[in-house]
């Protein structure tokens, strides 16, 4: 006799969907907390994906089912296999994982796109809370599915903007534009060099001398939490005190000016100015195939995130330190918004997974949590 989970699953018909779509997670190679400051970022897409299937309904009801815990926890809660529903136009925040679905239909409705009711199935291999854009992957996949199912005239950049709107205005997470653009426009073979001030971008190939690995620390973070918003507010206050619209307008030559700021605003601004310069240097290192320089930049970026921006944790610092000590690793850093999440490391070709596994084993021996190598996949 089928269990409750199977009965819930059976409530979403398995007939061919009107549309199927997916979207990748992303890792940010370098350029952290610069996007909402109008700066530079350098993310790339991951082989981890979120997939949705959409079937239209004749009424105005949306019924959604998430296949796994990873998708449910994207919004900080929800029971695996549970079906949730709401009426279009009646979106209400505070419903856990469903908020990301509601946020998408709310954003589409506010922009005047015509929708009918629908049934949505969601599956994901992007780990939630790891700083790998699980929420953006879900939103972009849903928007791609809606574009196909309802014949909506939205280009890929428009999808990224709507995903950010859903997250900012409905979910309540003050994220920048990097995540949805990286998920909507990125690919696995290239880093997406993005100027978040004007949204100009260029794809930069990863050199053969570098292989990336990503380790999920097992410590979940949430963009909707207060610390992320606090850092954004500190950057905005620093910009006002310095008389600029955004910290992006400052160059390394302006670093002496930062001494006029009260702490911790001086350190927050110093991170942003230095990180923008590091992104530009990392792009040159990729183009030159200079793996050692890229690794050194990752190390510098982590020190800045930990010491100046204060978004790391002792466990994350330990993971990064263990990665740096591995002879196959050029450099490593926290990736994502911080306060948990994942680290990214650059290693010699053909060694990334083995090196990451050594780091995870050493982390466990040092009393760390159950970290997981998520890229390269095993």
| Active-site annotation, residues | 179
Nearest to 307 by CA among 297, 315, 317: 317
Handedness of CA 232, 238, 241, 245 (dihedral sign): negative
Is there a contact between 124 and 140 (Cβ–Cβ < 8 Å)? no
Question: Would you put residue 212 in left (φ > 0), alpha (ψ -120 to 50) or beta?
Answer: beta
Distance of alpha carbon 151 from the chain centroid? 27
Token duo for residue 252: 């390394």
Question: Would you put residue 96 in left (φ > 0), alpha (ψ -120 to 50) or beta?
Answer: left
Cα angle for residues 24, 30, 33 (degrees, 5° grid):
90
Q: What is the torsion angle, in degrees rounded to the nearest 10, for the CA atoms of residue 322, residue 325, residue 326 and residue 327?
A: 170
């Amino acid at each position: 006799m089928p269990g409750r989970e199977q009965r819930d699953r059976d409530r979403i018909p398995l007939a061919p969907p009107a549309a199927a779509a997916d979207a990748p997670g992303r890792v940010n190679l370098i350029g952290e907390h610069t996007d909402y400051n109008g700066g530079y970022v350098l993310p790339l897409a991951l082989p981890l994906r979120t997939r949705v299937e959409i079937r239209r309904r004749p009424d105005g009801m949306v019924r959604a089912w998430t296949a796994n815990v990873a998708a449910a926890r994207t919004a900080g809660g929800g029971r695996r296999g549970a079906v949730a529903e709401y009426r279009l136009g009646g979106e209400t925040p505070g419903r856990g994982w469903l908020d990301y679905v509601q946020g998408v239909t709310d954003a589409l409705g506010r922009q005047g796109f015509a929708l009918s009711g629908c049934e949505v199935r969601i599956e994901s291999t992007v780990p939630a809370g790891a700083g790998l854009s699980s929420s953006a992957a879900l939103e972009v996949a849903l928007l791609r599915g809606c574009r196909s199912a309802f014949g909506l005239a939205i280009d890929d950049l428009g999808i990224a903007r709507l995903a950010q709107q859903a997250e900012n205005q409905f979910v309540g997470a003050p994220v920048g534009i990097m995540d949805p653009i990286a998920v909507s426009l990125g690919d696995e073979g290239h880093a997406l060099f993005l100027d978040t001030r004007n949204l100009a971008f260029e794809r930069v190939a990863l050199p053969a001398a570098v292989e990336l690995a990503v380790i999920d620390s097992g410590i979940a973070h949430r963009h909707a939490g207060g610390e992320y918003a606090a850092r954004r507010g500190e950057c905005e206050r620093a910009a006002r005190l310095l008389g600029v619209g955004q910290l992006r307008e400052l160059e390394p030559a302006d670093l002496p000016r930062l001494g006029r700021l009260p702490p911790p605003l001086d350190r927050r601004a110093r991170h942003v100015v230095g990180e923008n310069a590091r992104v530009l240097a990392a792009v040159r290192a990729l183009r030159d195939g200079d793996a050692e320089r890229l690794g050194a930049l990752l190390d510098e970026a982590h020190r800045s995130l930990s010491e100046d921006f204060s978004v790391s944790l002792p466990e994350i610092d330990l993971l990064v330190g263990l990665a740096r000590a591995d002879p196959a690793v050029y450099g490593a850093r926290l990736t994502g918004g911080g306060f948990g999440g994942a680290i990214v490391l650059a290693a010699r070709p053909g060694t990334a997974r083995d090196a990451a596994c050594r780091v995870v084993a050493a982390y466990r021996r040092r009393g760390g949590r159950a970290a997981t190598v998520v890229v390269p996949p095993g």
